[in-house]
Amino acid sequence: MGILRSRARERARLSFDAHSAAPLRSRLRVKEHFVDFNNFDFHPQIKAGISAADYADPTPIQEKTIPVILAGKDVLGLAQTGTGKTAAFVLPILQQLMRGPRGKLRALILAPTRELAEQTHTFIKLLGRQTGLRSITIYGGVGQKPQKDALKDGVDIAVACPGRLLDLKNQGALDLSRIQILVLDEADQMFDMGFLPSIRRIIEALPQKRQTLLFSATMPEEIRKLANQILHNPVTIEISITEPLNTITHAVYLAEPARKEEMLLNLLKEAGKGSVLVFIRTKHRAKKLAFQLQQAGVSATSLQGNLSQSQRDTAMRAFRDGKVRVLVATDIAARGIDVSRVSHVINYDLPDTPEAYTHRTGRTGRMERLGTALSLVSQEDLGMLRTIERLMGQKLELRRMDGFETSFNINSPALKVVKQNNRRPESVKASNPREVSHSVLRKPADENPKSSEFTRKSQRRVYNKNRFSSY
First CA to last CA distance, the chain? 19
Q: For 25-45, how does the pLDDT look when each residue is reduced to its tens digit (9 = 90+)? A: 333 333 344 568 888 889 999
Cα–Cα distance between 339 and 356 in angstroms, integer? 18
Q: Give me the percent of the chain exceeding a pLDDT of 70.
A: 75
How confident is the model at residue 363, as a pLDDT? 74
pTM of structure: 0.59
Considering all CA atoms of the chain, what is the largest pairwise distance in Å, rounded to the nearest integer?
Answer: 69
Element (H, E) at 171: none
How confident is the model at residue 21, as a pLDDT? 32
Residue 75: DSSP 8-state: E
- Within 10 Å of residue 114's Cβ, how many Cβ atoms? 26
Mean pLDDT for 281-292 is: 92
Mean pLDDT for 7-18 is: 34
Which parts of 24-86 are beta strand (E)? 75-79
Cα–Cα distance between 267 and 347 in angstroms, integer? 11
For residue 305, which amino acid is it?
G
Q: Which of 197, 92, 161 minimizes the C-alpha distance to 336?
A: 161
When pLDDT is cut at 50, 70 and 90, the band that residue 340 belongs to is low
Cα–Cα distance between 8 and 31 in angstroms, integer? 16
When pLDDT is cut at 50, 70 and 90, the band that residue 414 belongs to is very low
For residue 454, which amino acid is it?
F
How confident is the model at residue 121, as a pLDDT? 94
Cα angle, residue 246 at apex, residues 245 and 247 outer, rounded to 5°: 90
When pLDDT is cut at 50, 70 and 90, the band that residue 463 belongs to is very low
Burial, 269: exposed, middle or buried (Cβ in 10 Å; 0-12, 13-18, 19+)?
exposed
Listed range (34-48, 91-105, 189-203, 323-337) with the worst mean pLDDT: 323-337
Q: For 107-120, how does the pLDDT look when each residue is reduced to its tens digit (9 = 90+)? A: 999 998 888 898 89
Q: Reduced to 3 states, what is the DSSP secondary structure of residue 383?
A: helix
Domain residue limits, the chain: 2-239, 248-425
Contacts of 42 (CB under 8 A, 6+ apart): 50, 91, 95
Q: Reduced to 3 states, what is the DSSP secondary structure of residue 334?
A: coil
Listed range (122-131, 226-235, 274-283, 430-439) with the worst mean pLDDT: 430-439
Asked, colleague to colleague, whether 2-239 and 248-425 share their fold, the answer is: yes
pLDDT exceeds 50 at position 382: yes
Mean pLDDT for 362-384 is: 81
**382 phi, psi to nearest 5 deg:** -60, -40
How confident is the model at residue 253, as a pLDDT? 95
How confident is the model at residue 368, as a pLDDT? 54
How confident is the model at residue 365, as a pLDDT? 60
How confident is the model at residue 310, as a pLDDT? 80
How confident is the model at residue 37, as a pLDDT? 85
Mean pLDDT for 292-321 is: 87
How confident is the model at residue 268, as a pLDDT? 94
pLDDT exceeds 50 at position 232: yes
For residue 455, which amino acid is it?
T
Q: What is the dotted CATH code of the domain comprising 248-425?
A: 3.40.50.300
Burial, 274: exposed, middle or buried (Cβ in 10 Å; 0-12, 13-18, 19+)?
middle
Q: Regarding predicted confidence, which is higher, 330 or 292?
A: 292
Topology, domain 2-239:
Rossmann fold (3.40.50)
Q: Reduced to 3 states, what is the DSSP secondary structure of residue 60?
A: helix
How confident is the model at residue 330, as a pLDDT? 87
Point out which residues pair with 215 in neighbouring strands: 77
How confident is the model at residue 433, as a pLDDT? 30
Q: For 235-270, how does the pLDDT look when each residue is reduced to its tens digit (9 = 90+)? A: 999 875 444 456 788 999 999 999 999 999 999 999
Residue 252: DSSP 8-state: E
User: Please, how many CA atoms are within 13 Å of residue 263, restricted to the half-sphere of its CB?
Assistant: 27
Handedness of CA 205, 208, 213, 216 (dihedral sign): positive
